[in-house]
Amino acid sequence: KNFITSDKGIQRTLQQNGLNVFYFDPRGIILRGMKHGFIGGCAGILGKEVFFTGNIMLYPEGEKMNQFILYSGYRSHCLASGPLWDGGSIIFLNKT
């Protein structure tokens, strides 16, 4: 399994357990009232697609994260052209 995080503590724990993790620097992720947000609050997964609330390519590690996502068997989609903003997550609802 592969993981993406913006939390150094989570990164360390995953690595200590031999898991593959990509660290995305949270600086520049917008979260109103806070210094920054986290990548998990900017993303949602539906099937093999990862969606982001902004453009990951605006960040120095954006292309590397996109390659990590592709390596993991997923595709990424940026839902906006501006910076990432932490909205808590993206929730998908299926009509049944």
Question: Cα 57 vs. chain centroid, distance in angstroms?
Answer: 12
What are the residue ranges of helices labelled H in 1-96? 8-16, 62-71
> Can you give the residue ranges of every domain in the chain?
28-78
pTM of the model: 0.93
Query: Is-contact 37 85, C-beta < 8 A?
Result: yes
Q: What is the pLDDT of residues 5-59, one digit of tens each?
A: 999 999 999 999 999 999 999 999 999 999 999 999 999 999 999 999 999 999 9
Which segments of 1-96 are extended strands (E)? 2-5, 20-23, 43-46, 49-52, 75-78
